[in-house]
Amino acid sequence: MKLLIIAAVLLCFMAVTAQNLETFSETYGPFDSRYNDEFYYRETATTSENALQLTPALTRDPGVYVVSPLPNQTGRVMLRKRFKLWEQGYKISESDRVASFNSSFLFNIYAPFSNTRGEGLAFVLAPDTSIPSNSSGQYLGLTNEETDVSPGNRFIAIEFDTVKQDFDPDANHVGLNINGITSTVNASLTPLGFELALAQNATNLFNVWVQLDC
CATH of the domain at 171: 2.60.120.200
What is the per-residue pLDDT across 68-87, written as a single tens digit (0 to 9) for each? 556 778 899 999 988 877 77
Choice between 171 and 201, residue whose per-residue pLDDT is larger: 171
- Which range marks the domain in which residue 171 is found? 33-57+71-212
In a domain, 38, yes or no: yes
In the DSSP assignment, the letter for residue 70 is: -
In a domain, 65, yes or no: no
Cis omega (within 30 of 0) for bond into 30: yes
In a domain, 6, yes or no: no
Helix (H) or strand (E) holding 15: strand 2-16
Query: Which of 40, 49, 37 is CA-nearest to residue 3?
Result: 49
In 3-state terms, what secondary structure has residue 154?
coil
pLDDT band at 189 (very low <50, low <70, confident <90, very high): very high
pLDDT recorded at residue 18: 45
Rounded CA-CA distance 100/88 in Å is 16
Rounded CA-CA distance 151/48 in Å is 35
In a domain, 26, yes or no: no
Choice between 66 and 138, residue whose per-residue pLDDT is larger: 138
**φ, ψ for residue 35, nearest 5 deg:** -95, 10
Domains of the chain: total: 1
CB 101 within 8 A of CB 17: no
In a domain, 102, yes or no: yes
What is the per-residue pLDDT across 25-46, written as a single tens digit (0 to 9) for each? 888 888 988 889 999 999 989 9
In a domain, 2, yes or no: no
CB 34 within 8 A of CB 51: no
pLDDT band at 20 (very low <50, low <70, confident <90, very high): low
Rounded CA-CA distance 163/37 in Å is 34
In a domain, 22, yes or no: no
CB 157 within 8 A of CB 179: no
Query: Which of 147, 154, 54, 173 is CA-nearest to residue 108?
Result: 54
Query: Which of 164, 160, 165 is CA-nearest to residue 175?
Result: 160
Query: Which of 105, 83, 87, 104 is CA-nearest to residue 96?
Result: 87
